[in-house]
Structure 1
Amino acid sequence: MTIRTTPPPTPTVRHTGTFTPYLPPPTPGFEIRFGRTTAPGEQLSALDRARPGQVRGLGRVQLQHWGMEGLAEDAELVISELVTNAFQHGSGDSVRVWLGRTTTHVRIEVGGGGSGPQPRPRQAEPWEEGGRGLYLVDALAESWGVASSDGRVWCALALPRES
């Protein structure tokens, strides 16, 4: 596992969800890259299944460091869903997570590499255990989208407004 501070990623081409007005470039938080221990399409190993929880914890610590604890629960859920999707559906040999912030938003990006089909929400059946991840991202994020070049999914979570 590698953790490092990185500059903001390049803009994405495809946008879904609600339009976000211009935001200044994000301040870097962290970037993590996990190598897969199972091949794409195979049942995930215990280590790969544990990765979403590890990144949730790192995300919470970063938000606390920034003084943005009010966003932690939503960010943890979004991170968990996107990292899980990247391990389950990504076709690359690693999963990358990037977290950055502006004065009004936290930006999360997750990519599983490869050139598979573009992620999109699907209608899960009531009895299905999974299939709702992107619907949760859509409900919690002010905006989200998919980079057409590599299938990286990004979202912008608005900071809670003070009353």
Structure 2
Amino acid sequence: MRLTVGEHAARHVRRIVRSFLREWEMAGLSDAAELGVTELLANVVRHVPDRRCTLLLLRLPGGVRVEVTDGFDALPSVPVGLAPDAENGRGLALLAAVTDAWGVDPEPRGGKTVWFECCSERV
């Protein structure tokens, strides 16, 4: 899906993700996948000037992979030593905690793809 995301876009995308996971008989992955996609889209809203991105949901033999690609070159990272009262920086740490794998790949023509995977064995 090609999207221009606003602050409420994640709600609609979560429904789509949930629907696909139910259809693929992977409903047990919904909580983690929905939280992950929410965090990735929130980062687009916060950090990508034009708020445009592409969302790809891939069915894997043992789970699901979600990719969000945008045209912004800055690569995300998990902050080290986050203060307990910090208002920003928790999203990728949360993503790492609820998914089985995640990463970021620079795109050859600019931008990046941030992805995560959730495996059926985890649920």
| Shift, 1:93, TM fit | 5.1
| Shift, 1:128, TM fit | 2.7
Q: Secondary structure at the match of 1:84?
A: helix
Question: Which whole-Å CA distance do the structure 2 matches of 1:91 and 1:49 have between them?
Answer: 13
- State the 4+ residue runs in structure 1 displaced beyond 6 angstroms: none
Equivalence for 2:114: 153
Output the amino acid matched with 2:113: R
Task: Point out the structure with max Rg over C-alpha.
Answer: 1
Q: Secondary structure at the match of 1:128?
A: coil
Identity of aligned residues (%): 32
TM-score normalized by structure 1? 0.66
| Shift, 1:161, TM fit | 5.7
Q: Aligned residues, how many?
A: 119
Equivalence for 1:67: 25
Equivalence for 2:2: 33
Equivalence for 2:65: 107
1:139 matches 2:100: no
Output the amino acid matched with 2:35: L
Q: Secondary structure at the match of 2:18?
A: helix
> In 2 relative to 1, CA 93–52 (structure 1 residues): closer, same or farther, beyond 3 Å?
closer
Provide structure 2 residue ranges, at least 5 long, that are not aligned to the other structure.
none
Q: Pairwise CA RMSD of aligned residues?
A: 1.8
| Shift, 1:105, TM fit | 2.0
Provide structure 1 residue ranges, at least 5 long, that are not aligned to the other structure.
1-31, 37-47
Is the contact between residue 89 and residue 112 of structure 1 (CA under 8 Å) also seen in structure 2? Answer: no
Q: Secondary structure at the match of 1:152?
A: strand
Is the contact between residue 92 and residue 112 of structure 1 (CA under 8 Å) also seen in structure 2? Answer: no
Question: Which whole-Å CA distance do the structure 2 matches of 1:120 and 1:70 have between them?
Answer: 28
1:86 matches 2:55: no
Output the amino acid matched with 1:122: P
Question: Which whole-Å CA distance do the structure 2 matches of 1:81 and 1:142 have between them?
Answer: 15
Q: Secondary structure at the match of 2:121?
A: coil
Is the contact between residue 86 and residue 111 of structure 1 (CA under 8 Å) also seen in structure 2? Answer: no
Question: Which whole-Å CA distance do the structure 2 matches of 1:119 and 1:100 have between them?
Answer: 22
